[in-house]
Amino acid sequence: MTPPSETASRIAFDLTADGRFCSGELIFDGGVLFVVEDGATVLERDVADCSELKQMTDIGCGALELALADPAGPPPENEGDPPAALPDAENVRVCRFTMAHAEEAAELCKVVNYYIATGDQNRMARPEGRRCPRCGRPLMQGTDVCLFCVDKGYILKRALQTAKPFLGRIAVSALLLTVANVFYALTPVLYRILTDDFLVRPETAAAWFGTPVRGVLLLALGMVLVRGLGQLFYITSNRMANRAGSAYSDSLRERLYAKVQLLSLSSVSKKTSGDLLKRITNDTEVIRTFLSDQGRNLLEQLVIMVFVTVVMALTNWKLMLMVILPVPVMVMLIQAFWRFIHVRYSKQWRIESRANSILHDIIKGIRVVKVFGSEEREIRKFSDCSRRLAEISASNEKFWARVSPALEFFVGIGEFFVLYFGGRMVLAGTLSLGELIQFVLFLSYIYTPLRWLSSFPRWLARAMTSMVKVVEILDEKPEITDAAGAEEKTVEGGIEFRNVRFGYKSYEPVLKNVSVTIRPGEMIGLVGPSGAGKSTMINLLMRLYDTNDGAVLIDGTDIRNIGQRCLHDQMGAVFQETFLFAGTIYDNITYARDDATREEVIAAAKAANAHEFIMALPDGYNTVLGENGHTLSGGERQRLAIARAVLKNPKILILDEATSSLDPKTEGLIQDALGKLVKNRTTIAIAHRLATLRHADRLVVIDRGCIAEVGSHKELLEKRGIYYRLVMAQRQTAKLKN
């Protein structure tokens, strides 16, 4: 089997044909299905003579089968329909799986069946709740990275790369911290001198300083000086580390936020708001703490442990071996616990992300919660998630509460060895009392780093989880990018959809061979039932997505060859759901052009029939809006959106249900404002209330992803086709309401 191509689709399965568990993988590439069980290819089948890939579900398991096409059967009626199939007896069994893989199997069926119908190979979309194709474990919500299979060395390398401008300061801080600990480590040496040369043999102090008391005083002053210097270096190190860490976290947050802004809409929509917020705020802080605190302390602890070990070895190498005897056991225990720690903190991250998402949604939708009286339900929902988070956090802490005593026990064995064998050496006269005291005091400089290192896997596991999430965003490539040499052109407004085929999942097309030409300055109305593809056409025109086949052109140039910034600068949009940012009315209008003068802003508000109600507010244009402008009525918010579009003065205007669900008076004001706005610019409008589009130059009727009818309001009524039936249905509905 040759290596799969980039467009290959692959899923895992876990049962053999006779029901035994296995590690299986199903790969579809270039029209061929490959079935791999435990590393061996057991089936390689071209689907050219097949009608479809079918999924059968039994109790607790499922299977995939290829249905062979009937060569004598009738041709498919519609494009995309599979050819007629032979009886089920002719099916080819592909693989079996437990229900954990059912969702991915269903997606693969869509990819294969689309290929059978069209001959186009498309990559499979991964459903939520999906699993890692390598190990089969569930993937974390909102991510395509498996925390078990990811290259952890690469993740650490990328984290260090993001911190590169600050690593120098962090390293200097670690060096200063090490120097501080070296000064602290001189204290046991001074205690040895005090014991052996001043207390046990006072004549030595008298020979050096005149009297033993004077010697003890000078030695005490030396201890104060050593401690003082240690504290000075320690404080300097902390201040430098805090500054470097704050600058690093600020830089990382800015980079991550900027990357989120550059991601394609399809990528952002796969992640919840709570997930993105947690990555930008919490995860960046976890990484900062790990690099600037734990990373600095790791270097300091290792250096001081090596320094003290050398001093102890020079004093008495036999006793030094007794000190480090428990270290290998400790290292093996840490390695054994690492696997369990990693799983636990991954689970804790998922629950934290879920809690943040619930909290964000509840706060954002508080009006809906109040209207439906669902406060108690939302309290229970968040409380349940918060309780689960508390339980897993407590469980992790209990785990460490059990592990730490075991590690402390092995550390205590080393202290026992030093006291027992060191005491015997003192009694035998091979070790002085001062040297034993020095050894005992040095134990803390050996075992404190070991105790610290025993907790390091916990910090590393937490940081690794956050690093994976952050690096995934930083490394993700936007699906929508500017072509090399993209044009920066002033558009006139001519638009063409040329044989456009598109689906949010490429094997489930929403638009099928759509072709329509719009002249500069023309107003086009898009009409059709919900789900027909109207908003999808607008999304493609704004290049929020790229076509699967065909092209969208402006003034004869494929929009993929126009810079995105240039394209969006010359487009304006008014949507049904108007979004207003937290801030003043003035700020919301100037969001379209931050260089606009106050006179231009007022002129835009007047053109949108918004100036009058703005001036009636207590602070006029300086009125601060609440969450999404909910202190304003729907019509007022809509008029602010129109004012924003007027201020931008776009060459191409998009109206998506801009007058939906408004009272007649407000709708009249907005229609008047829109009438001014659409003059001398290309306009594409979507409206379910068809009467609002009767003044459009042409209407384009879309049905099941295809252009069904094109013409003026009058022409389409005379055709008595789809548009006529839609108008008659709306008129009948209006009569029933009256």
pLDDT of the residue at 500: 92
Does 737 have pLDDT greater than 60? Answer: no
pLDDT of the residue at 677: 73
| CATH code linked to domain 489-563+687-738 | 3.40.50.300
pLDDT of the residue at 443: 77
How many CB atoms within 10 Å of residue 21?
A: 9
Bridge partners for 615 per DSSP: none
pLDDT of the residue at 554: 93
Taking residues 62-80, report their average pLDDT: 69
Instruction: Note if the pTM is more than 0.85.
Output: no
Q: Which residue has the tokens 């009297």?
A: 211
Q: Which residue has the tokens 């990819």?
A: 111
**Of 230, 273, 155, 212, which is closest to residue 445 (Cα–Cα)?**
230
**Of 417, 418, 406, which is closest to residue 442 (Cα–Cα)?**
418
CATH architecture group of domain 152-475 = Up-down Bundle (1.20)
Confidence of residue 422 (pLDDT cuts 50, 70, 90): confident
Does 384 have pLDDT greater than 80? Answer: yes
Does 291 have pLDDT greater than 60? Answer: yes
Q: 94-98, 220-224, 274-278, 345-349: lowest mean pLDDT where?
A: 345-349
Separation of alpha carbons 510 and 503, rounded Å: 5
**Boundaries of CATH 3.40.50.300 in the chain?**
489-563+687-738
Does 353 have pLDDT greater than 70? Answer: no
pLDDT of the residue at 735: 65
Q: Which residue has the tokens 């929403």?
A: 510
Does 96 have pLDDT greater than 80? Answer: yes
CB 457 within 8 A of CB 514: no
Taking residues 313-340, report their average pLDDT: 73
**Boundaries of CATH 1.20.1560.10 in the chain?**
152-475
Structure tokens at 457: 């896997």
Taking residues 362-388, report their average pLDDT: 75
**Residues whose CB is less than 8 angstroms from the CB of residue 471 and which lie 6 or more positions away in sequence, other chains included:** 155, 158, 159
Confidence of residue 320 (pLDDT cuts 50, 70, 90): confident
pLDDT tens digits, one per residue of 592-603: 888 889 999 998
Which of the pair, 337 or 698, is modelled with greater confidence?
Answer: 698
pLDDT of the residue at 206: 65
Does 62 have pLDDT greater than 80? Answer: yes
pLDDT of the residue at 667: 64
Identify the CATH class of 9-118.
Answer: mainly beta
For the chain, percent of residues with pLDDT exceeding 90? 7
Report the chain's mean pLDDT, rounded to a whole number: 80
Does 106 have pLDDT greater than 80? Answer: yes
Separation of alpha carbons 574 and 686, rounded Å: 10
Structure tokens at 501: 């085929």
**Residues whose CB is less than 8 angstroms from the CB of residue 525 and which lie 6 or more positions away in sequence, other chains included:** 685, 686, 687, 693, 696, 698, 699, 700
Does 81 have pLDDT greater than 60? Answer: no
Q: 137-151, 346-360, 408-422, 533-547: lowest mean pLDDT where?
A: 137-151
pLDDT of the residue at 627: 66
Residue 294 DSSP symbol: I
Does 125 have pLDDT greater than 70? Answer: no
Separation in Å, CA 555 to CA 490, 497, 550, 652, 680: 10, 11, 16, 12, 16
Does 230 have pLDDT greater than 60? Answer: yes
Burial category of 97 from C-beta neighbours within 10 Å (exposed 0-12, middle 13-18, buried 19 and up): buried
Which of the pair, 229 or 670, is modelled with greater confidence?
Answer: 229
pLDDT tens digits, one per residue of 499-515: 998 888 766 788 988 99
CB 354 within 8 A of CB 309: no
pLDDT tens digits, one per residue of 250-279: 888 888 888 888 887 777 777 777 678 878
pLDDT of the residue at 499: 92
pLDDT tens digits, one per residue of 714-736: 888 888 888 888 888 877 766 65
Structure tokens at 519: 């002249």
Does 412 have pLDDT greater than 80? Answer: no
Taking residues 598-621, report their average pLDDT: 88
Which of the pair, 372 or 293, is modelled with greater confidence?
Answer: 293
Separation in Å, CA 695 to CA 5, 574, 639: 51, 18, 20
Does 304 have pLDDT greater than 70? Answer: yes
Does 133 have pLDDT greater than 70? Answer: no
pLDDT of the residue at 658: 64
Taking residues 587-612, report their average pLDDT: 88
Rg of the chain in Å (alpha carbons): 36
Per DSSP (E only), the strands in 506-591 are 511-518, 523-527, 549-554, 557-558, 571-575, 583-584
Structure tokens at 229: 């210097």
Confidence of residue 552 (pLDDT cuts 50, 70, 90): very high
Bridge partners for 32 per DSSP: 29, 46
Does 551 have pLDDT greater than 90? Answer: yes
pLDDT of the residue at 633: 81
Which of the pair, 18 or 587, is modelled with greater confidence?
Answer: 587
**Boundaries of CATH 2.30.29 in the chain?**
9-118
Separation of alpha carbons 605 and 598, rounded Å: 11
CB 111 within 8 A of CB 118: no
pLDDT tens digits, one per residue of 646-695: 888 888 988 887 665 555 666 677 677 777 777 788 989 887 777 678 77
